[in-house]
Amino acid sequence: MTVATTSRRALLALGSNLGDRRAHLEAAVRALPDVVAVSGVYETPPVGGPEQGPYLNCVVELRTTLSARQLLEVARARERAAGRVRRERWGPRTLDVDVLWIDGETVDEPDLEVPHPRMFERDFVLVPLADVAADLLPAGYDPAAVPDIVRVADLAPATPADAEGGAGPGE
Ligand code: GSY
């Protein structure tokens, strides 16, 4: 495990297709630590799993000293806070938070892989990723050319008051 003493860029992907999808994303973004940028919110067709409704997806950039493991704990805490119940793999969910990328760090453990193993295959990740980390896009990838993905909202950046009430890694 890498223990970072200086902050580095980390990217998280958020998705929701159950309940008040936008409210779930907004609450999670406000509670995440060390957020420096938030992509647009995109409505995206579901990929994989059973028949289910469309998702709202976004990508968040952090500048953080948290490790990949700590970020996974933060992500899971936000999913629990959104009332997520794990029923079936790739099924509908109130909130999904994936650790996509941490500059200079790779993790290959049974429950955590960084970079996320499918991040470069999924338009619902790449299109919002283009808003905050275009340097990571595969060569030639054009988010404007992707069909069926529509920017539907922008989330307000968190205020200092949000940060004071935000979740730490163990929450
Ligand atoms: O892997 C994240 C959850 N998820 C999504 C998602 O966030 N967006 C879309 N469009 N399809 C998805 N399928 C799964 S599983």
73 lies in some domain: yes
Q: What pTM, to 2 d.p., does this model score?
A: 0.91
Residue nearest to atom 6 of ligand 1 (CA): 15
80 lies in some domain: yes
Pairing verdict, β 40-44 and 8-16: unpaired
3-state secondary structure of 83: coil
Q: Give me the half-sphere count of Cα atoms (radius 13 Å) on the Cβ side of residue 40.
A: 15
Ligand 1 site-directed mutation target among 87, 96, 125, most atoms within 8 Å of CB? 96
Could you tell me the pLDDT band of residue 164, with boundaries at 50, 70 and 90? low
The DSSP 8-state label assigned to residue 105 in this structure reads B
What is the number of structural domains in the chain? 1
User: What is the domain extent for residue 83?
Assistant: 8-163
**Tell me, what CATH number does 67's domain have?**
3.30.70.560
168 lies in some domain: no
Kindly give the number of the ligand 1 atom that is closest to the alpha carbon of 54: 10
The pLDDT tens digits of the residues spanning 28-80 come to 999 999 999 999 999 999 999 899 999 999 999 999 999 999 999 999 999 99
Please count the other Cβ atoms lying within 10 Å of the Cβ belonging to residue 16: 26
Residue nearest to atom 7 of ligand 1 (CA): 15
170 lies in some domain: no
Residues with CB under 6 A from ligand 1: 15, 44-49, 55, 57, 90, 96, 124
The pLDDT value recorded for residue 88 is: 80
3 lies in some domain: no
106 lies in some domain: yes
Ligand 1 site-directed mutation target among 41, 47, 58, 149, most atoms within 8 Å of CB? 47
143 lies in some domain: yes
Q: Where are the alpha helices (DSSP H) in the chain?
A: 21-31, 68-81, 123-132, 160-164
128 lies in some domain: yes
